[in-house]
Amino acid sequence: MRATFSADGEVLVVTGGASGIGAAAARAYAEAGGTPVVLDVAPSDELAAAGIEQHGVDVADRDAVFAAFAAIAERHGRVDGLIAGAAVQPRTPVAEMDPAEWRHTLAVNLDGVVWAVQAALPHLRAQASGSIVVFASGLAHMGRAEASAYAASKGALIAFAKSLAAEVIEDRVRVNVLFPGVIDTPQFQAANPGDERAHWLRTTGIGEPEDVAGPLLFLLSEAATMTGSTLSRDRAFAADAGEDA
């Protein structure tokens, strides 16, 4: 992807960035001249080969998240942005969901964002600048059978991000929510096997992780002057979706 925004000298932390949208964002940020650092429970060989720094971190573990941010700040001297993208997406009917699965989903999808934000804020506030991007989902509004835990966590994140934006606006830290849309990530494929993936392809169109990198770079840049806002690619077709129609 051709870099449109410059991130020269800046440091971005991406949670859940070893694959999918997070990995695409990390690569685009590096192309824009910045230093992406990925926190993921399973680091990527592909990103390692590209020279992108990674830390093996379970975002549900608050102490591990804080330790990673401390190491990043010590090494690079700053943190300029956070993409909170780590998430799990189980498919289980409510009547069959056990407490462990429910708690694990919220621990990763919701608690993990809170811990990353808490770890990032001291650095962003000290610089009186920076951007936090939280991923939401259209399922937070429309719901989906067997996706209650995931949808609930994304709905909570919207409220969390908007409240956070009000808290840190005087610190010149921006917080915005991104609806990426239907993107063909490993997580999406696992949650939508076979005919379900074909249904999304017919009815909505499925984007690639790289399609989200541009909106993310915009939200991280000073060109995005808003805070407490939502930027939606949700249910959006790719720009070239109709070329073969």
- For residue 37, the one-letter residue type is V
> Which residue has 């694990």 as its token pair?
104
CB-based contacts of 240, cutoff 8 Å, min separation 6: none
Beta carbons of 58 and 18 less than 8 angstroms apart: no
C-beta atoms surrounding 128 within 10 Å: 10
- Clarify whether 29 is annotated catalytic: no
Strands laid side by side in the 53-56 sheet: 53-56, 35-40, 11-15, 81-84, 131-135, 174-179, 230-232
Euclidean distance between CA atoms 194 and 218, whole angstroms: 34
d(CA 38, CA 23): 8
Of 150, 160, 179, 188, which residue is the catalytic one? 150
Of the candidates 44, 61, 62, which has an alpha carbon nearest to the alpha carbon of residue 53?
Answer: 44
Q: Which residues pair with 55 in a beta bridge?
A: 39
Give the C-alpha separation, 50 to 170, whole Å: 37
Positions annotated as catalytic residues are: 150
